[in-house]
Chain A
């Protein structure tokens, strides 16, 4: 039972480079999301998806792209990395985005990906 798997765990980029953070879940969750964690700012929502083919912006979407071609995968793309994107990134999923009364929206988190942009 893998849960939410993120790769890579660590990455160092130069300014202007592009890369993709991978996220996969094997729990048949409809809802997937990406957060970034910065000291003193908690976790901020970047993008989220409520199902295959449906994505939307969170609190801090600029500089990031996402797509959801399958239920299992939700990659996060940095097209031109900037030092301000140095952070720890977490992918999280839940059964649905609604259904809060049943607790179906409780998030399961991946272990995180630490990105440094020089």
Chain B
């Protein structure tokens, strides 16, 4: 079973509209969850993370995500997107194996913001 599944490969949206990028994780992995963003021709950078505590996590650039244990989801949201948010977004989860932690990524969601 996939450790982490991103339900949409592409999400087109108009500027200033709200957006939600969906991520579900396997209940067999840890619940340490991350969203990374990759702008064109760049490496990945951390948007936000959930390690414990409040289920609503706020990140950089106005993004937030909600950890939902019963639905095993960690969806990323932004109330109003900008053209500059056009990028690929990756959900990731810590997988503990052999005593070491490994970060496993979903397949990614390409967000395209149109004027």
Contact = CB atoms under 8 A, between A and B. Distances in A.
9 contacts: A4-B43, A40-B108, A43-B90, A98-B101, A101-B51, A103-B49, A106-B34, A107-B46, A111-B43
Contact of B42 (A4, A45, A111): A111
B51 A58 contact: no
Given A43-B90, A50-B100, A103 B51 contact: yes
B104 A105 contact: no
Closest 3 CB pairs of A and B: A109-B43, A42-B107, A43-B105
Interface in B32-51: 32, 34, 42-46, 49, 51
Contacts, number: 64
A42 B108 contact: yes
B75 to A, nearest CB: 17
A3 B10 CA distance: 31
A72 to B, nearest CB: 18
Nearest to A90: B43
Chain B residues touching A, range: 20 to 34
A105 B90 contact: no
A33 B90 CA distance: 17
Given A42-B90, A50-B100, A109 B51 contact: no
Contacts of B107: 40-42
Given A42-B105, A90-B44, A100-B30, 7 more contacts: A42-B90, A42-B108, A56-B100, A100-B51, A101-B51, A105-B101, A109-B45
Interface in B91-111: 94, 98, 100-108
Given A90-B44, A105-B94, A109-B45, A100 B32 contact: yes
A48 B96 CA distance: 13
